[in-house]
């Protein structure tokens, strides 16, 4: 978080690993988790589920988000809602940053 409580400049927090995924927790409460994910180009996260519903908001980059068999282009500004237990996977075609919120 920033100097003031409850604020953060997300773009300033983006940093890409040489390979793989770097995640940074932004907020964690009993009901909400918000994290910044930075995926290096070519990185994939295989199929998995979450017991909580949530959303992904793409900040920068380009990739593919597969949600229950449907491919969604990950481009800046794209918002993806996921129901709980939805099968999903990701592939970063270039360095890609997104926010993940689970509630």
Which CATH number covers residue 37?
2.60.120.10
Tally of domains in the chain: 1
**68 part of a folded domain:** yes
Nearest CA-CA partner of 56 in 98, 16, 90, 27 = 98
**35 part of a folded domain:** yes
**91 part of a folded domain:** yes
Helix (H, G, I), strand (E, B) or coil at 12: helix
How many other β-carbons are positioned within 10 Å of the β-carbon of residue 33? 17
Q: What is the reported pTM? A: 0.91
Enclosing domain of residue 69: 21-102
**86 part of a folded domain:** yes
- Could you read off the pLDDT of 41-99 as tens digits, one per residue? 999 999 999 999 999 999 999 999 999 999 999 999 999 999 999 999 999 999 999 99
- Could you read off the pLDDT of 14-35 as tens digits, one per residue? 999 999 999 999 999 999 999 9
């Amino acid at each position: 978080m920033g100097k003031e409580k409850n604020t953060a400049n997300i773009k300033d927090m983006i940093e890409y690993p040489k390979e793989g995924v770097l995640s940074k927790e932004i907020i964690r409460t009993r009901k909400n988790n918000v994290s910044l994910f930075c995926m290096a180009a070519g990185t994939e996260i295989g199929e998995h589920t979450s017991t909580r519903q949530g959303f992904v908001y793409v900040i920068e980059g380009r990739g593919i988000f597969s949600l229950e068999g449907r491919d969604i282009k990950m481009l800046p500004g794209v918002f993806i809602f996921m129901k709980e237990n939805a099968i999903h996977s990701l592939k970063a075609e270039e360095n890609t940053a997104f926010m993940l919120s689970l509630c």
